[in-house]
Amino acid sequence: MSNFTKAVDVAVAAGTALLVSATGMAFAYATNSGTANGTTTAGANVPVTINQTTSIRAMYPGRAAVTLTGTFNNTNPGPIDLTTVTATGYTIDAGHVRAGCTGAQGNYTLGGTAVVSGHDVAPGTPSPGSSWTGLTITMKDLASTQDACKGAIVTITYAAN
């Protein structure tokens, strides 16, 4: 056998080996598609309760404004975002109104700007880490007598958002 024949046999064997190894490889590629439908219902929030924690004693005409502070009760399962608390008005107990202490006289003034700490009011009663401060109440010093307001219980109404 000549050298040329051996070289051709080696080349054919190498080519066959290359063909076998090339056909021995496989690639897997698959695609998938589909659609899905689902529904969900958003839960309804329960209103958060605003608590005043400042207890005011000896309110009298001309006294400096008293700063009001408080906490929140959140009975929702998750946190509620609050950024402001406002004092929307006040009422005076019925006995003192009958005695002549009325809101129409302008005996009390609500003011200030509340700062809410912990804007995400966590669930809890009271909510841990959330509070407010900065609103004020003052008893004005009117020209008319304010004796009917001695011992009056002033209930402040608050709102938050």
pLDDT at 64 over 80: yes
Pairing of the two strands 85-92 and 154-160: antiparallel
Query: What pLDDT does residue 37 have?
Result: 56
Q: How much is the pLDDT for 153?
A: 94
**Residue 19, pLDDT score:** 33
pLDDT, one tens digit per residue, over 105-159 is 889 999 998 989 878 899 999 999 899 999 999 999 999 999 999 999 999 999 9
Cis? peptide before 79, omega within 30° of 0: no
CB of 72 closer than 8 Å to CB of 126: yes
C-alpha separations of 83 from 50, 80, 120, 137 in Å: 13, 10, 9, 21
H or E element in which residue 109 lies:
strand 108-117
> What is the per-residue pLDDT for 137?
96
